[in-house]
Structure 1
Amino acid sequence: MTKLAAVSANFTRDLEQNYALIADLVGEANARGVDYLALPEAAIGGYLSSLGNHGDTVRTAQQSLPPAITLDGPEITRVQQIVGDLVVAIGFCELAEDGRTRYNAAAVLDGGTIYGSYRKVHQPLGEGMSYSAGSGYRVFDTPVGRIGLQICYDKAFPEAARIMALQGAQVITSLSAWPAARTAAAANLQEDRWTYRFNLFDTARALDNQVFWVASNQSGTFGSLRYVGNAKIVDPGGNILATTHLGSGMAVADVDIDETFRAMRAGMFHLRDRRPDVYGPVTEAATAAAWQAFEHA
């Protein structure tokens, strides 16, 4: 059996507060026998303070950016010292090799090894003023299995998870700083339309690809953003095994990865039953004329 865990918690610009919170969460995970722990997007240094507000410009958006760090820098090393033998996924703002370009990034690591890292591909409104976009997806071999990483808005694009499933991902980890709706937000945040979408994407992507889905998220508030929490573990049948709902906390579930895959894929096997020969328009860089023809077909 493997014990998976996903965190809902509030991370800010205060790095020492972040490290202390990570240490508390790692302590709880170890006490509960967790093998793999997913921390949220931007767990080192916090996320952006706003997204796509009227009047935002590149200059104003960059006035309150999280610290940009490198994979071989002291911040990641500090996290590795904290996590020890526990395998952890964590989000941060990555500084590229040119010393200027920033990426919304994540890595999966333990105290001795960085197993892989990822730069967010799909950017919501406003994020492109602060980060450059990544360009691909990979799956990483770790002590708990083959793990794929994606960040927040990526979950709205089924192609992102599908690519990793085709690469043999057993667990796809979706690290988020997913907020409530910015207009007409529901009085009960659990019933907010953006909370609904967050949860629906998680269950759909797990079922689409028949993989374990580990979804972490920020909680509380930061700047103008109010986060929806709802960290969760979803099995390959789209069943939510554990969730934090709105609050801060840790969703934990014991899973048998190999046996679950055998059972779920014994009949319907979505990857086997694909028809890529008819999917060409999904990936073609179609011209405007081609799209017009497609819409009127």
Structure 2
Amino acid sequence: MGACQASEFLGDVEAALGCIEDFAVRGDALGAQLLLFPECFLQGYLVTEEHLRRHALDLRSQTFTSMLRRLRSIRQTLVFGVIEQLGRRYCNTAVVVVGGELLGAYRKTHLMPGESLFHPGGEYPTFELHGVRFGINICSDTRSADAAAQVAAQGARVLLVPAQNMMRRESARRWKDEHHRIRAVRARETGMWLVSADVTGERDEHRIGYGPTSIINPLGEVVAQVPLLTTGIVIADVG
């Protein structure tokens, strides 16, 4: 499986889709069967009424179907974050896409205080790739043991964690190593591999994203990581 650390694209779906296509080419060369991208990656993580109203997508809509059609030549299973329009509600969602078709979705259950415009999910679907079952937690979900435990209870061997830690600079410096500590605990508790993908770069003079994007084994050891503040991809055999 592969995890991609990318720049953020705020309100630029075309650029985000192009980024996915570029990483898929790199994933082909590395033999990746699955590629994970950050939280709310397709439209960009910005939790304001204006951004959500303008960019949220109904996963059943022709607009979203047309976007996925662009990805149908990609051979990898793709997992990436979207801002979902679910009736009158917004959800922080991760979709699983195969051959340009929507296989399923997970909606973030443990929302942060700044995510009050999102509606929490309540289910933990799992999926299978070449005999390896995986599930999804999104970013702050990993602070709660029950979210990972719900996935592990279904026989999953891998937990995918799309994240988005574009933070104010002081917070970003404080948290850039703390993420691994928290995720390592979840890996050891559940015996699952944990694969995370995050954004990197500077949004403005106030906010920066370090990452990390990494792969942690069931012992809680980081076995692969994209260097902080760089874009890139890491691959590991978690079978």
- With the length of structure 1 as denominator, give the TM-score of the two structures: 0.73
Query: Of residues 152, 155, 161 in structure 1, which corresponds to 2:142?
Result: 155
Structure 1 alignment gaps of length 5 or more? 50-60, 258-297
Report if the CA contact (8 A) 1:244-1:250 is conserved: yes
Identity within the alignment, %:
27
Q: Distance in 1 between matches of 2:169 and 2:15?
A: 31
CA 1:248–1:113: 2 relative to 1, 3 Å: same
CA 1:164–1:80: 2 relative to 1, 3 Å: farther
Q: Distance in 2 between matches of 1:239 and 1:115?
A: 30
Structure 2 alignment gaps of length 5 or more? none
Report the equivalent of 1:235. 217
Instruction: Give the Å deviation of 1:11.
Output: 2.6
Report if the CA contact (8 A) 1:179-1:194 is conserved: no
Report if the CA contact (8 A) 1:178-1:198 is conserved: no
Instruction: Give the Å deviation of 1:252.
Output: 1.2
Aligned residues: 233
Report if the CA contact (8 A) 1:7-1:38 is conserved: yes
Report if the CA contact (8 A) 1:175-1:217 is conserved: yes
1:282-297 to structure 2, matched below 5 A, reads none
**Runs of 4+ displaced beyond 4 Å:** none
* AA matched with 1:123: L
- Which has the larger Rg? 1
* AA matched with 1:92: V
Query: Of residues 3, 12, 15 in structure 1, which corresponds to 2:13?
Result: 15
Deviations 1:50-77 (A, max 9, x none): xxxxxxxxxxx31233611122333354
CA 1:77–1:234: 2 relative to 1, 3 Å: farther
Query: Of residues 228, 241, 248 in structure 1, which corresponds to 2:231?
Result: 248
Report the equivalent of 1:110. 98
* AA matched with 1:85: R
* AA matched with 2:2: A
1:68-79 to structure 2, matched below 5 A, reads 68-73=56-61, 74-79=63-68
Instruction: Give the Å deviation of 1:29.
Output: 0.6
1:37-52 to structure 2, matched below 5 A, reads 37-48=35-46
Instruction: Give the Å deviation of 1:219.
Output: 1.2
Deviations 1:6-41 (A, max 9, x none): 111123111111111111011111111101110111
CA 1:77–1:239: 2 relative to 1, 3 Å: farther
Instruction: Give the Å deviation of 1:199.
Output: 1.3
Report if the CA contact (8 A) 2:136-2:159 is conserved: yes
* AA matched with 1:45: Q
Q: Distance in 1 between matches of 2:220 and 2:200?
A: 23
CA 1:230–1:242: 2 relative to 1, 3 Å: same
Q: Secondary structure at the match of 1:153?
A: helix
1:1-297 to structure 2, matched below 5 A, reads 4-12=1-9, 13-48=11-46, 61-65=48-52, 67-73=55-61, 74-79=63-68, 81-82=70-71, 84-96=74-86, 98=87, 100-111=88-99, 113-128=101-116, 130-143=117-130, 145-180=132-167, 182=168, 184-185=170-171, 192-222=173-203, 225-246=207-228, 247-255=230-238, 257=239
Greater fraction strand: 2
Report if the CA contact (8 A) 1:229-1:248 is conserved: no
CA 1:183–1:216: 2 relative to 1, 3 Å: closer
